[in-house]
Amino acid sequence: MHIQIDQTYSLRPFRPSDRDDLVAGLNDWAVARWLARVPYPYRQDHADEFLRWDEHIDVATAMTNSGSGFALAVCRHKRVIGGLVANPAEEKQHREIGFWLARPFWGQRIMRRAVATMIDEMLRAAPHIGIVASANHDNLRSQRLIRALGFVPDGQREVISTPLQRAVLLHCFRRPGD
């Protein structure tokens, strides 16, 4: 699977050779602090563990099964600059999406286009699986991005953040009609 966003950016499954790009992007407090389950400092063994997921082998199949999670790398030419995940949500037949972008690439609406492309692909592969999103209550960048994609507010919930090592309040979003 290789999905071109434009001539520069694309989405594809992660590969073992992405380890250094993953560590470069995620071992940055400005990125990791907003992610629910990412350890910090983010070391090579954390990247290796993630890259060993079976789901990377056949993302197309994982996409059609609401019980499976999957991830896609956001690439600038051949280098990974970010990541997208879609994990089974608490609500049955729904997936919760998550995303991160290496800091040098922030502020260019790259992630908005990457997430929109992934959602198109998810809806094509499995139109019956709903899509939800959430962001820390003070993650205004992420909330703007989620709203710009047409998601609407859907309450709040508390989770334990791995990087922050405390409970945080999440603002939840769903797609109208899902």
Residue 168 in the binding site for ligand COA (CB under 6 A): no
Residue 8 in the binding site for ligand COA (CB under 6 A): no
Tell me which residue of 5, 15, 1, 9 sits closest to 77, measured CA to CA.
9
Residue 81 in the binding site for ligand COA (CB under 6 A): no
Return d(Cα 172, Cα 12) in angstroms, integer: 27
Task: Select from 46-54, 107-115, 123-131, 154-162 the region that touches ligand COA (CB under 6 A).
Answer: 107-115
Among 40, 50, 70, 100, binds ligand COA (CB under 6 A): 100
> What part of residues 123-162 is at the interface with ligand COA (CB under 6 A)?
135, 139-142, 144-145, 148
Q: Quick one: DSSP state of residue 172? A: E
Could you tell me the smallest distance in angstroms from the CB atom of residue 61 to ligand COA?
26
Residue 24 in the binding site for ligand COA (CB under 6 A): no
- Listed in sequence order, the DSSP H helices in 12-163 are 19-26, 29-32, 44-51, 59-63, 110-125, 140-148
Could you tell me the smallest distance in angstroms from the CB atom of residue 28 to ligand COA?
9
CA atoms within 13 A on the CB side of 39: 11
Closest CB to ligand COA among residues 24, 127: 24
> CA distances (Å), 79 to each of 24, 75, 114, 120, 144, in order?
11, 5, 15, 23, 26
Among 112, 125, 154, 164, binds ligand COA (CB under 6 A): 112
- Are residues 144 and 127 in contact, defined by beta-carbon separation less than 8 angstroms? no
Binding site for ligand COA (CB under 6 A): 31, 34-35, 98-101, 106-112, 135, 139-142, 144-145, 148
